Amino acid sequence: MAAPEAPGTIVGFVPAVLWEASDGGSEVCVLERAGRGWRLRGTVLTHEVKQPIELRYAVTVDSAWATMGVEVLVAFAGGDPRELVDLGELWSAERPAEYRDCVDVDLSFTPATNTLPIRRLGLDVGEEAEIHVAWLVWPELTVRRVLQRYARLAKDLYHYTQNDFEADLTVDEHGLVLEYEGLWRAIANA
């Protein structure tokens, strides 16, 4: 007999969110099974200096929600997608020393990657944690090691801090963001 699914485990369907950004952009994100772990994949439609841009990403995590791989593609003004930046070395056996304690990736152009530490940390209401992450900064396309703090305020509410930036994140039962204070809000989810 199989062991029962852990609380919050996704069974029988694929959760998805359609977000609207405060700058007029949008994104669709899907959370799906990938082997023994999970994959967040999405498409962001945005703009830079009034040029339409499509960003596609996939982040694969293991069963403990630790990042295993990251793919990011970009297409400017409807062109063919091309790789933005190779983040593979950050999760390889020979990862750079400054990223060895980074379990999570944060893609700055999407609220999706906030799901990773929310799920991995498993904080109870009233608990908080500080973590170092590999932060891909858009549109500069640089990767930085940064310190982030997550504080769980309620069953569906987290306070997120990075440097001088802070925001409240309202999430669904899967840890997907429904409201990212001032930046993103879900307009449809399944």
What confidence tens digit (pLDDT) does each residue in 27-78 have?
Answer: 999 999 999 999 999 999 998 878 899 999 999 999 999 999 998 988 887 6
- Which residue positions in the chain have pLDDT lower than 50? 1-11
Give the per-residue pLDDT at 3. Answer: 31
∠ CA 138-131-146, nearest 5°, is: 35
Per the domain annotation, does 2 fall within a domain? Answer: no
Per the domain annotation, does 3 fall within a domain? Answer: no
Whether pTM > 0.85 for this model: the answer is yes
Per the domain annotation, does 176 fall within a domain? Answer: yes
Give the per-residue pLDDT at 8. Answer: 45
Structurally, the chain folds into a number of domains equal to: 1
**Helix, strand or coil for residue 178?**
strand
Give the per-residue pLDDT at 49. Answer: 77
Per the domain annotation, does 6 fall within a domain? Answer: no
Give the per-residue pLDDT at 83. Answer: 59
Give the per-residue pLDDT at 188. Answer: 94
Per the domain annotation, does 161 fall within a domain? Answer: yes
Q: Are 81 and 57 in contact (CB under 8 A)?
A: no
Please give the Cα distance from 145 to 39 (Å, whole number). Answer: 22
Provide the residue range defining the domain that includes 170: 16-189
Give the per-residue pLDDT at 78. Answer: 65
Per the domain annotation, does 1 fall within a domain? Answer: no
